[in-house]
């Protein structure tokens, strides 16, 4: 059986101090007070210390602080048990007298307990003193702050007596209880446990999650954001993880513990002491804290507003608030009240009687009443709460304020103005003529704020009210719902609605927008285009939908001029350009010219090249950012935004981040994960796992990608996996077939990745003719698409095929400028085999593959260096297997042993231990003892 190890991470200093007190062989004992808030790890620290000391022959008596008679009784039982274990030892008469006296004085009822408490404590002190003459004794007493004052006094007398007998006494307690002070005053050492460092908490997350897998960074980030200053509190983190696991929010994705749904905040566990402190204040406590959580922050002079939010009177609110501030549940920072732990607000929100919109509505009514009374009111505050309130209040006041304040903020804070315009649009009814003017501005601001998902929902609601069945069952525009002046505004609303749906890849929902287009198609002169658009939507072909939609816009806006500031004609040119991005260069250049004519100066030469390269990997967030510039701000939790980070991290070589973002897409908010960005992210994740030699994970990622979907990129990853599994000939056969299918279908941009991979594999199979034929295809592709990526592949692949070092150098430099680290590494491998001085190329490639975390790639460069006689760079990566001695040292480090204690345990010198630890740090890439212990916990170090 493996030995049971005790690991306490982040408490080396505290363990050293406790060890020093216990190791002292003097006759004088000591009293150590260990303080720290609940969950700070006091019990874990003492538990680890007790197990360490037992190996040194130290006898530990550990008791919990309860009412003094019972506490003394438990300690006496422990003493008697120790005496019984050593019946062959001749005990002095004084010891036996003390034990007999304790037996006689031990309480048999409550009255007797109170009467005999001090004599019982005195005799128990004598017994412990005699025992301390035979062996080292440590008495651990936890949670002394929970004692009543009489029990605390009796315990203090006992502690003073046993300390004088040479016994080390260690007591624990929290930092905010009055009883604790008498022990603090008597203590020789008061040890305050600081919060654990973030790195220490992260090292422990895998163990605490209880799922035998590493924790994804998204979980760590969610805990950091939700727990704030309590992230360093081990008990809080453990209880939060336990609650998340019980709720089913911790799931295994790609062999990592992930949070579902990604981006949703975490809540404190129901039994957390902060929630207990709030409940102790009664219903008013929860209402006040929940009110602050909804409002975000509250200035002290705005307490009447907080009282309204909490649905209580001002006096009660102030009294409860004072108590909450004293207990640090709420913090007063320069006159502003905040909740330092956001997860507390989330937990309270789950049980809140008043949902957030009801709280905002109550504040709006309060502010409106103040206006009627003639009191000054901040109109921006009224607009803020009006936008979030659930009711419409039956009059125009909040709507007028929303519009006026949005007009005032439209240039300085577009996101807030968009919120307020949106709330106003949803509240305008019937004959209100402002609707037609507000809607275009709201659309523009929503797009600028990157809220395409929200915009699609808004326009779905607005556009659906514009449709009504005629008597004959056909659909027409319902004029009574909103005051639509002509068909121009309706057409523009529907265009932007369709654009938002396309952006969010909600192709199925476009069927509703088709109905609106059909209602105005004849009058706008675009009936044929509507039919083509409808057919494309019915088939669900994204590329054709884009093309048909751009044609529909062009036909529907044949006459110059636009309504408001929507610039529908520019949108048509934009969509035409996007539909042309994955085609040949001539078509792209025509679409680019149309876009530049409608939006002059928006797209420069280098950006055009980046556009095409982004489309080659399906990164439409990068495409829109390049086309819309500062007007495009994607939602951080959106699928396009996350996939953009997958691609960026992959190209830069930060593959761990790329995989984390791919896993976050798998745990998103959507009910299914079948959108294009999800599949493309799976392809990139599969390629990373394949390149790292983790073939099972790669296959699981690819299994979720439809066999014929996402073209050349999926085939590129599948062929790479086949080759790395030793099936190179099959990879070439499958890849050729796939390339020809996608080429004939017209999807060509980005396929240079697949072609370059097939050329490399053909050369490995000594199929020079096949490689040259594929290279001809690659050159033809480059002539057709003229992208930066295709040019690099022609240079690098051609250089490998024709042993042209100059071509290779240029290709690698272009890839380096574009930030494609994997392509640079591939070029370095070829240059390392062909260049006169291969060392810099081989060392650079080795460093890159190390950054990728790819042992397969490092092996390739190691073989090349060996064949070329190049000395490998100094390696700091861990070996796969540790020796028995090294494993023992890491075990002892994990147990918290000092170098001196390790040397004693292993019967070697301290210098030998230091030397071995230095080598271990170097080989494992660990910078400290904590990281070494964490590496063992996470399974990164393998025992021989």
At 822, the pLDDT band (50, 70, 90 cuts) reads: very high
Position 275 scores a pLDDT of 92
Higher-scoring residue by pLDDT: 173, 587: 173
Cα angle value 868/922/231 (rounded, 5°):
130
Whether 475 shows a pLDDT value over 50: the answer reads no
Give tens-digit pLDDT for 588-623: 777 777 767 766 555 555 566 787 788 788 887 777
The model's pTM is 0.78
Position 31 scores a pLDDT of 86
Higher-scoring residue by pLDDT: 539, 470: 539
> CA end-to-end span of the chain, whole Å?
15
Strand stretches in 126-255, DSSP E:
137-142, 168-173, 189-192, 250-253
As a whole number of angstroms, the distance between CA 493 and CA 472 comes to 26
Least reliable range by pLDDT among 326-330, 633-637, 707-711: 633-637
Whole-number percent of the chain with pLDDT over 70: 77
Whether 672 shows a pLDDT value over 70: the answer reads no
As a whole number of angstroms, the distance between CA 685 and CA 702 comes to 9
As a whole number of angstroms, the distance between CA 129 and CA 138 comes to 12
Q: Give 47's contacts (C-beta < 8 A, 6+ positions apart).
A: 6
Residue 586 φ/ψ, nearest 5 degrees: -60, -45
As a whole number of angstroms, the distance between CA 757 and CA 695 comes to 18
Whether 792 shows a pLDDT value over 60: the answer reads yes
Give tens-digit pLDDT for 412-434: 777 788 888 888 877 775 556 67
Cα angle value 52/54/55 (rounded, 5°):
70
At 35, the pLDDT band (50, 70, 90 cuts) reads: confident
Q: Give 674's contacts (C-beta < 8 A, 6+ positions apart).
A: none
Determine the average pLDDT of the residues in 110-127.
Answer: 72
Higher-scoring residue by pLDDT: 208, 473: 208
Whether 760 shows a pLDDT value over 80: the answer reads yes
Position 944 scores a pLDDT of 46
Whole-number percent of the chain with pLDDT over 90: 23
Whether 652 shows a pLDDT value over 50: the answer reads yes
3-state secondary structure string, 447-501?
Answer: HHCCCHHHHHHHHHHHHHHCEEECCCCCEEECCCCCCCCCCHHHHHHHHHHHHHH
Give tens-digit pLDDT for 680-719: 999 999 999 999 989 999 999 999 988 766 678 999 999 9
Cα angle value 331/336/339 (rounded, 5°):
40
Q: What are the structural domains of the chain? A: 12-192 (3.40.50.300), 198-259 (no CATH), 273-354 (1.10.10.10), 429-630 (no CATH), 634-693 (no CATH), 694-868 (1.25.40.10), 884-937 (1.10.10.10)
As a whole number of angstroms, the distance between CA 255 and CA 663 comes to 10
Which stretch of DSSP H or E encloses residue 910? Answer: helix 910-924
As a whole number of angstroms, the distance between CA 504 and CA 498 comes to 10
Position 438 scores a pLDDT of 76
Higher-scoring residue by pLDDT: 133, 525: 133
Position 737 scores a pLDDT of 92
Query: Residue with structure tokens 């006159």?
Result: 335
């Amino acid at each position: 059986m493996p030995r049971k190890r005790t690991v306490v991470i982040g408490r080396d200093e505290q363990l050293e101090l406790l060890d020093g007190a216990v190791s002292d062989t003097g006759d004088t004992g000591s009293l150590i007070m260990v303080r720290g808030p609940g969950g700070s790890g006091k019990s874990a620290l003492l538990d680890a210390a007790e197990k360490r000391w037992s190996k040194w022959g130290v006898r530990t008596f550990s008791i919990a602080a309860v009412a003094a008679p019972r506490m003394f009784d438990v300690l006496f039982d422990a003493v008697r048990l120790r005496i019984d274990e050593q019946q062959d030892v001749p005990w002095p008469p004084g010891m036996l007298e003390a034990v007999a006296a304790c037996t006689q004085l031990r309480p048999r009822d409550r009255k007797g307990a109170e009467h005999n408490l001090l004599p019982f404590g005195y005799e128990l002190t004598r017994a412990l003193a005699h025992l301390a003459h035979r062996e080292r004794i440590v008495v651990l007493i936890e949670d002394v702050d929970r004692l009543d004052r009489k029990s605390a006094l009796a315990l203090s007398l006992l502690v003073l007596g046993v300390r004088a007998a040479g016994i080390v006494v260690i007591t624990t307690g929290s930092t905010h209880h009055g009883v604790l002070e008498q022990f603090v005053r008597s203590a020789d050492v008061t040890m305050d446990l600081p919060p654990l460092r973030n790195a220490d908490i992260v090292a422990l997350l895998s163990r605490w999650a209880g799922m035998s897998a590493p924790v994804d960074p998204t979980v760590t980030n969610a805990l950091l954001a939700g727990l704030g200053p309590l992230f360093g509190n081990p008990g809080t983190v453990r209880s939060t993880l336990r609650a998340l696991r019980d709720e089913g929010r911790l799931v295994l994705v790609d062999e990592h513990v992930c949070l579902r749904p990604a981006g949703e905040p975490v809540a404190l566990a129901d039994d957390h002491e902060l929630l207990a402190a709030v409940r102790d204040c009664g219903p008013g406590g929860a209402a006040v804290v929940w009110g602050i959580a909804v409002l975000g922050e509250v200035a002290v002079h705005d307490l009447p507003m907080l009282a309204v939010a909490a649905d209580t009177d001002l006096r009660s609110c102030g009294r409860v608030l004072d108590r909450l501030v004293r207990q640090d549940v709420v913090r007063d920072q320069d006159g502003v009240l905040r909740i330092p732990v956001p997860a507390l607000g989330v937990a309270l929100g789950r049980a809140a009687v008043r949902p957030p919109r009801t709280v905002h509505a109550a504040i709006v009514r309060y502010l409106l009443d103040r206006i009627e009374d003639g009191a000054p009111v901040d109109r921006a505050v009224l607009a803020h709460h009006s936008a979030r309130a659930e009711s419409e209040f039956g009059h125009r006041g909040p709507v007028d304020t929303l519009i006026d304040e949005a007009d005032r903020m439209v240039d300085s804070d577009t996101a807030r103005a968009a919120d307020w315009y949106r709330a106003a649009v949803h509240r305008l009814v019937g004959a209100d003529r402002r609707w037609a003017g507000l809607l275009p501005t709201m659309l523009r601001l929503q797009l600028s704020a990157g809220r395409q998902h929200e915009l699609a929902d808004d326009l779905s609601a607005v556009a659906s009210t514009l449709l009504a069945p005629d008597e004959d069952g056909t659909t027409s525009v319902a004029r009574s719902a909103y005051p639509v002046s002509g068909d121009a505004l309706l057409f523009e609303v529907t265009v932007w609605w369709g654009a938002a749906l396309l952006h969010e890849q909600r192709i199925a929902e476009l069927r509703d927008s088709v109905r609106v287009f059909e209602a105005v198609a004849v009058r706008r002169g675009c009936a044929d285009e509507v039919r083509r658009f409808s057919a494309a939507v019915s088939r669900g072909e994204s590329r054709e939908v884009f093309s048909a939609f751009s044609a529909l816009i062009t036909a529907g806006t044949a006459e110059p001029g636009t309504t408001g500031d929507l610039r529908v004609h520019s949108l048509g040119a934009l969509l035409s350009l996007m539909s042309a991005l994955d085609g040949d260069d001539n078509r792209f250049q025509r679409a680019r010219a149309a876009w530049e004519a409608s939006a002059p100066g928006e797209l420069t030469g280098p950006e055009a090249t980046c556009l095409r390269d982004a489309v080659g990997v399906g990164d439409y967030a990068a495409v829109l950012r390049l086309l819309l510039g500062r007007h495009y701000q994607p939602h951080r939790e959106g699928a396009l935004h996350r996939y953009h980070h997958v691609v960026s991290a992959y190209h830069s070589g930060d593959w761990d981040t790329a995989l984390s973002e791919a896993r976050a897409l798998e745990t998103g908010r959507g009910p299914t994960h079948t959108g294009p960005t999800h599949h493309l992210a799976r392809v990139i994740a599969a390629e990373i796992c394949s390149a790292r030699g983790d073939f099972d994970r790669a296959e699981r990622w690819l299994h979720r990608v439809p066999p014929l979907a996402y073209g050349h990129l999926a085939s590129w990853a599948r062929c790479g996996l086949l080759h790395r599994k030793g099936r190179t000939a099959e990879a070439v056969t499958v890849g050729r077939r796939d390339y020809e299918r996608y080429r004939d279908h017209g999807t060509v941009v980005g396929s240079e990745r697949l072609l370059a991979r097939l050329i490399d594999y053909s050369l490995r199979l000594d199929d020079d003719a096949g490689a040259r034929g594929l290279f001809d295809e690659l050159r033809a592709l480059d002539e057709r698409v003229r992208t930066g990526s295709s040019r690099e592949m022609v240079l690098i692949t051609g250089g490998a095929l024709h042993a042209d070092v100059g071509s290779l150098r240029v290709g690698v430099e272009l890839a380096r400028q574009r930030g494609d680290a994997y392509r640079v590494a591939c070029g370095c491998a070829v240059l390392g085999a062909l260049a006169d001085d291969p060392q810099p190329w081989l060392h650079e490639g080795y460093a890159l593959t190390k950054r990728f975390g790819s042992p397969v790639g490092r092996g390739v460069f190691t073989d090349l260096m060996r064949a070329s006689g190049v000395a490998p760079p100094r390696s700091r990566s861990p070996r796969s297997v540790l020796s028995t001695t090294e494993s023992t040292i890491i075990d002892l480090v994990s147990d918290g042993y000092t170098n001196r204690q390790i040397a004693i345990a292993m019967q070697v010198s301290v210098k030998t231990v230091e030397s071995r630890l230095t080598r271990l740090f170097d080989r494992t890439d660990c910078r400290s003892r904590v990281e070494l212990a964490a590496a063992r916990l996470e399974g990164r170090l393998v025992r021989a």
